[in-house]
Amino acid sequence: MFYIALLFLFIGIELIYFKIADYFNIIDKPNSRSSHTAITLRGGGIIFPLAILTACLLGYVSWIVTLAVFLVAIVSFIDDIKPISQLPRFICHAIAILLIFYDLGLFMQVIWPLPIVFILLIGWVNVFNFMDGINGITVLYSFVAILSFSFLEINKESLPLLITVGMSCCAFGIFNVRKKAKTFAGDIGSISMALFLGYFMIKTILDSGQIGYLLFLSVYGIDAVITIFTRIKKKENILEPHRSHLYQYLANELGYSHIKVSLLYAGIQLSINISSIYLQQIGKLSLPIIISLFLFQISFYIWIRNKVVQKIALEKI
């Protein structure tokens, strides 16, 4: 009953935010790079950092992690309202990640891997933000990740935190997972959630000693990385908005429903996560198996992407 009350609280906060966003004209206008066609309220993902603040007040997460999430949330919200340069965003992201490292005690361990983890986490935050393009994809994918973390015995003590953030996903999903979205997450939502998922991924790997849990975020990661390499090959500016992700091809060029595409991504990731959890439980999630699963996903993704690109080319003839 307590978590149901939290859900209704988060829904109420969203409704209040809609009034504020409407008053101050915080909207997302569609352009040639957009996957939507109607003006939509931006920044509904503000509920994610507020959920983490709620969890902090309830004693479920440290104030350091909360501060890190709010740091990226504030600069992202400013960017949602009026675009700012990359330098202040990078500085805030870097400070937030260092706070995460401090909370996890990484500075007390071997130092040399930290720059690698730092770069990977910076990349993940930006990749997750870039993938926020169609109705439902970010919140459904986030919910699958949170649900998967919740099933691990190693995260039993963190279950109240995961449920609290999961409730915020449910509240946001009510207004976003629909044919015509009431709101988009905005940078404040996608970047805050990305940092939280990155934090929890590192925490889970450290606590379990199982690097295979990286598979929990593999669908987004593979799509983003291959799309980046494809754009570099075409000599495109990878920092500019685009419509080159596979999910964008499916939703925009082939006209598939946003919700169906989002459910497809979330469903595939859920299947991978269930398989990973099962393999770990029977003691088979070894490094060769992990590498094999990644290679299979990459090969399958490239095959599907090439098929879709060919289909799009044929339809244009």
**Separation CA 300–CA 89 (nearest Å):** 35
Domain of residue 53: give its range. Answer: 2-316
| pLDDT score recorded for residue 163 | 97
Q: CA 82, 135, 34: angle at the middle one, nearest 5? A: 50
Kindly give the pairing relationship between strand 40-42 and strand 27-28. Answer: antiparallel
**Separation CA 228–CA 234 (nearest Å):** 10
| pLDDT score recorded for residue 160 | 97
**Separation CA 296–CA 290 (nearest Å):** 10
* Contacts within 8 Å (CB) and 24+ apart, 303-308: 304/246, 305/226, 305/246, 305/249, 308/246, 308/249, 308/250, 308/253, 308/254
Q: Do residues 178 and 123 touch, judged by C-beta distance below 8 A? A: no
DSSP code per residue over 101-145: HHHTTGGGS-STTHHHHHHHHHHHHHHHHHT--STTHHHHHHHHH
**Separation CA 91–CA 94 (nearest Å):** 5
Whether 303 has a pLDDT exceeding 90, the answer reads yes
Whether 4 has a pLDDT exceeding 90, the answer reads yes
281: exposed, middle or buried (C-beta count within 10 Å: 0-12, 13-18, 19+)? exposed
Name, in order, each residue with C-beta under 8 angstroms of 43's C-beta and a sequence gap of 6 or more.
17, 21, 26, 77, 80, 183, 184, 185, 186, 188, 189
Per-residue pLDDT averaged across 118-140, rounded? 89
Strand, coil or helix: 41: strand
**Separation CA 243–CA 257 (nearest Å):** 16
**Calculated CA dihedral for residues 190, 192, 198, 202, nearest 10 degrees:** -160
At 229-256, the pLDDT tens digits run 998 888 888 767 778 889 999 988 898 9
DSSP code per residue over 160-188: HHHHHHHHHHHHHHHHHSSSS-SEE-HHH
Token pair recorded at residue 200: 């929890």
At 187-220, the pLDDT tens digits run 999 999 999 999 999 999 999 999 999 999 999 9
Q: Do residues 191 and 129 touch, judged by C-beta distance below 8 A? A: yes
At 7-47, the pLDDT tens digits run 999 999 999 999 998 877 877 665 545 455 566 788 899 99
Count CB atoms within 10 A of the CB of residue 75: 22
Per-residue pLDDT averaged across 157-172, rounded? 96
Give, as one character, the DSSP assignment of residue 21. Answer: H
| pLDDT score recorded for residue 86 | 86
Domain count of the chain?
1
